[in-house]
């Protein structure tokens, strides 16, 4: 996940004029512990543009339709609408998946 966050952060930096935004929302039963983890991740990896946040509860907000079988879900928004919902297990989330997410984000920038 850190690799993806770093690449998204760099993509945002390179496309400031496009007003690209990104949020990492960690779903957690212990929001305080999760917040400490995210703060450390952001500092250690110099994350400046991806907003790191915590949602209290592993199910996530109901309207986001987060798969209970997913370890990581990537939502691409266009305006206020979810344009793409990619759900990954730990085994599925690899360098190819990261490339797919980044290419999809680049595609939304160019549209």
Indicate the pTM of the whole model.
0.83
Confidence label for 15 from pLDDT (cuts 50, 70 and 90): confident
Average pLDDT of span 39-47:
96
Q: Which domain range does residue 89 map to?
A: 2-110
What is the Cα–Cα distance from 108 to 82, expressed in whole angstroms?
12
Average pLDDT of span 32-36:
93
Torsion of CA 41, 45, 46, 51, to 10 degrees: -40
Average pLDDT of span 48-72:
89
DSSP label of 48: -
**Could you give the percent of the chain with pLDDT greater than 70?**
96
Q: How many domains does the chain have?
A: 1
* Residue 109 pLDDT: 64
What is the Cα–Cα distance from 62 to 65, expressed in whole angstroms?
6
Closest residue by Cα to residue 4 from 27, 22, 16: 22
* Neighbouring-strand partners of residue 77: 82
Assigned token pair, 78: 């266009």
Closest residue by Cα to residue 6 from 42, 56, 31, 39: 42
Average pLDDT, rounded, for the chain: 88
């Amino acid at each position: 996940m850190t690799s993806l966050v770093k690449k998204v952060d760099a993509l945002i930096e390179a496309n400031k004029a496009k007003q690209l935004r990104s949020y990492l929302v960690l779903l957690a039963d212990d929001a305080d512990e999760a917040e400490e983890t995210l703060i450390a991740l952001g500092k250690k990896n110099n994350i400046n543009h991806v907003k790191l946040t915590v949602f209290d509860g592993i199910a996530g907000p109901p309207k986001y339709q987060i798969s209970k079988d997913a370890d990581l879900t990537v939502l691409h928004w266009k305006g206020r609408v979810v344009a793409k919902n990619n759900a990954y297990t730990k085994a599925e989330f690899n360098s190819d998946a990261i490339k797919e997410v980044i290419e999809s984000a680049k595609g939304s920038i160019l549209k």
